[in-house]
Structure 1
Amino acid sequence: MPLASRFSNLKPLGEFFDVKRFSKPQNFGEVQSRINYNLGYFSSNYAVLFVMLSIYSLLTNLLLLFVIILVVGGMWGIGRLQGRDLEFGNTRVTSSQLYSGLLVVSIPLGLFASPISTFLWLIGASGCSILGHAAFLDKPAESAFSEEAV
């Protein structure tokens, strides 16, 4: 299970938020070195941070969350018909009509929900958070000795 293995190597919060190791890098080479090390070492923690920011962005844009639930639920419901027509009394609605109706409703609602700005906010917020953490968190002293031996 790749998802379970992704989160099996989460680092403890005490190590992730180790205030004693936060410092300003001396030069751009040190920034690159810290980012390379921390992105590999804390990759699972950064994935959790990205998921948490994604959930936050959906909870603050309830219309987008509603559109996503509407589309997923509509596709699931139409798929449950297995190609049969939906009957309401004397009215028959084919699955292609249901898909068309879902499309006609969800596209304007989806555009009104501003998914592009939400996506760009998510990229910016996660990029600043993750790259900021990776750049300002100094590598542990043990890693400096292992690099010199190579």
Structure 2
Amino acid sequence: MGTIRPVGEFFDFKRISKPRHMNEVQSRVSYNLTYFSANYLIVFAMLSVYSLLTNMLLLFVLIFVSIGLYGINYLKGEDLNLGFTRLNTSQLYAGLLIIALPLGFLASPFSTILWLLGAAGVTIIGHAAMLDKPIDSAFSESAV
């Protein structure tokens, strides 16, 4: 992974232009995806957080399952004694699955993932295609 580039360089409005042809689009995308890879990873992470904050049920299910798995692992294979009943590890995992599976389907994780991929793809590829390469990289390519 590359280094995080400065925000001023990532949002350099002087270098934004419409590509003239498809070869230029491919060249820009190829260059910018490698040059700004860490910045694009941050953009993807921010869109991921946004998608979870706008789908609170999915966020709840993820937190519920994480806490449930942590709690079951915290028992280290011992039974959970509730006073009126004892539950072994397999019963706890089954109970967690029985509760989390319907909630997970209601939370529509597939549409959230598809939205995330679409939004990230449009944002990242759009930025990479519209941002022209720096002048010094153009000279280094012609010398090779």
Tell me, yes or no, whether TM beats 0.5.
yes
Which residue among 79, 102, 105 is the counterpart of 2:73?
A: 79
Match of 2:128 in 1: 134
Where does the alignment leave 5 or more consecutive residues of structure 1 unmatched? 1-5
Q: Distance in 2 between matches of 1:112 and 1:89?
A: 33
Where does the alignment leave 5 or more consecutive residues of structure 2 unmatched? none
Q: Distance in 2 between matches of 1:82 and 1:89?
A: 19
Q: Could you give the per-residue CA deviations for residues 68-96 of structure 1, whole angstroms, max 9, x where no partner exists? A: 01111101100010110000113111111
Match of 1:3 in 2: none
Q: Distance in 2 between matches of 1:88 and 1:103?
A: 19
TM-score w.r.t. the length of structure 2 is 0.98
Runs of 4+ in 1 over 3 A off after TM superposition: none
Q: Distance in 2 between matches of 1:138 and 1:36?
A: 11
TM-score w.r.t. the length of structure 1 is 0.94
Q: Distance in 1 between matches of 2:37 and 2:31?
A: 10
Q: How large is the RMSD of aligned CA atoms in angstroms? A: 0.8
SS of the equivalent of 1:23 reads coil
SS of the equivalent of 1:118 reads helix
Q: Could you give the per-residue CA deviations for residues 18-69 of structure 1, whole angstroms, max 9, x where no partner exists? A: 0000000000000000000000000000000000000000000000000001
Match of 1:13 in 2: 7
Match of 2:48 in 1: 54
Q: How many residues align?
A: 144
Q: Could you give the per-residue CA deviations for residues 85-135 of structure 1, whole angstroms, max 9, x where no partner exists? A: 000113111111110000000000000000000000000000000000000
Matches within 5 A, 1:113-128: 113-128=107-122
Q: Distance in 1 between matches of 2:137 and 2:36?
A: 14
